[in-house]
């Protein structure tokens, strides 16, 4: 595969490219700048990607922040909702036509979105998606992860209705030992440092289900699944609420400034 790493740190992205090239002895990996907290940056990234004129068989939506203090993206969105959810929502929609063109009857293009078990306790506040009434880092994070599951199910419904050779699935990577926990309380940080080897997955282990969803023959043609430890499992009951899926989609289109599914997806 020709892999393009999209990220908001040029230095870390280039370092990842260097490591992959050393380990795999391939030049088919590169970095492109994309800040998921900026609608402008997302659109610029899509323009640069399109200019490469290459197919898009797999899109992995993996960026995220967790338990950050109350703050906004440059577009004025609450950061969990704006980066974790809306950034991926816009990126996916802007790349959908390329995914459709790349998918075939025997090899569907695949969209994999990384959520979290936290979505099970999440509540979607359609009248206050920006958590303006009362901000809770835990509540905002859980809402963003629930939104990703609702988005995936709605997207798969629309793709199926259109007969597109594209599948959309959502992944729970488990509890992974990464820098995602830098905003938790110091007591939790200490506990994490002491127990990570026992209870936390390594980044490689955490990526396994995403990779499974991206390349496994067993997932060919399968969409609308919630995957954990490389197995299909049940997400939160509320995530299957089709009316909630539809309303979130419509509101999300308004927030990021794209037309609704009638012209964008269908």
Annotated active-site positions, please? 141
CB 119 within 8 A of CB 142: yes
Q: Where are the beta strands (DSSP E) in the chain?
A: 3-7, 29-33, 58-61, 109-114, 166-172, 226-228, 231-233
Strands 231-233 and 226-228: antiparallel
The Cα 200–Cα 112 span in angstroms is: 22
Structure tokens at 142: 């859980």
For 73, other C-beta atoms within 10 Å of its C-beta total 19
Phi, psi dihedral angles at 33 (to 5 degrees): -70, 135
Structure tokens at 2: 């020709």
- Residue holding tokens 């979105």? 113
CB 109 within 8 A of CB 57: yes
């Amino acid at each position: 595969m020709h892999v393009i790493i999209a990220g908001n740190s040029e230095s870390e992205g280039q370092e990842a490219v260097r490591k992959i090239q050393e380990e795999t002895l391939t030049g088919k990996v590169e970095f492109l700048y994309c800040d998921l907290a900026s609608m402008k940056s997302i659109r610029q990234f899509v323009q640069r990607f399109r200019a490469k004129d290459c197919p898009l068989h797999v899109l992995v939506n993996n960026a995220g922040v967790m338990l950050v203090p109350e703050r906004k993206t440059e577009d004025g969105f609450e950061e969990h909702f704006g980066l974790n959810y809306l950034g991926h929502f816009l990126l996916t929609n802007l790349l959908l036509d390329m995914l459709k063109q790349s998918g075939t009857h025997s090899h569907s293009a695949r969209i994999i979105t990384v959520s979290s078990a936290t979505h099970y306790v999440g509540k979607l506040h359609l009248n206050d998606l920006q958590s303006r009434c009362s901000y809770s880092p835990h509540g905002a994070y859980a809402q963003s992860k629930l939104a990703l599951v609702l988005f995936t199910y709605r997207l798969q419904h629309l793709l199926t209705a259109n007969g597109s050779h594209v599948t959309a699935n959502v992944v729970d990577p488990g509890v992974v030992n990464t820098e995602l926990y830098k905003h938790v309380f110091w007591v939790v940080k200490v506990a994490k440092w002491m127990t990570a080897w026992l209870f936390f997955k390594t980044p490689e282990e955490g990526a396994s289900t995403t990779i499974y969803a991206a390349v496994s023959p067993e997932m060919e043609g399968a969409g609308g699944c919630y995957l954990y430890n490389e197995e299909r499992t049940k997400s939160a009951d509320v995530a299957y609420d089709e009316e909630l899926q539809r309303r979130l989609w419509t509101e999300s289109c308004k927030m990021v400034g794209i037309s609704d599914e009638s012209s964008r997806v269908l």
